[in-house]
């Protein structure tokens, strides 16, 4: 399913995480939430990222909280707590 207004927002630092691009070679509607290019935008102690998107057919907005950690001196983004799926009906 195509979605609109896909956004990843860091609740601690109050900034939008970029890129939040469609994921290549994954099903339509799959997105990369955060990757190692954004490692300096999340703290080593962990951050909560709010992910949201809108279903263009019925305008429903779905939100999910994802906890990750990183930091400038980390080698990779690491998930702490992530839901398996966020489904838009």
88 — pLDDT class (breaks 50, 70, 90): low
48 within 8 A of 66, measured Cβ to Cβ = yes
The per-residue pLDDT for 48 is 93
Q: Which two tokens stand for residue 55?
A: 């279903």
Q: What is the pLDDT of residues 19-76, one digit of tens each?
A: 666 667 777 777 778 888 888 888 888 899 999 989 899 999 989 899 998 887 787 8
The answer to whether the pTM exceeds 0.85 is: no
**Dihedral of the CA atoms 66, 78, 81, 4 (nearest 10)?**
20
Instruction: Give the pLDDT band (50/70/90) at residue 6.
Output: confident
Question: Residue 84: is its pLDDT beyond 80?
Answer: no
The structural domains of the chain, with segments of one domain joined by +, span: 4-81
């Amino acid at each position: 399913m195509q979605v609109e207004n896909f956004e990843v927002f860091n609740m601690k630092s109050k900034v939008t995480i970029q890129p939040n691009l469609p994921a290549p070679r994954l099903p339509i509607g799959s997105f990369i939430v955060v990757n190692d290019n954004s490692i300096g935008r999340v703290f080593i102690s962990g951050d909560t990222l709010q992910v949201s998107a809108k279903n263009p057919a019925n305008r429903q907005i779905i939100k999910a909280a994802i906890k990750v950690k990183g930091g400038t001196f980390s080698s990779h983004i690491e998930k702490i707590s992530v839901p398996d799926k966020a489904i838009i009906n």
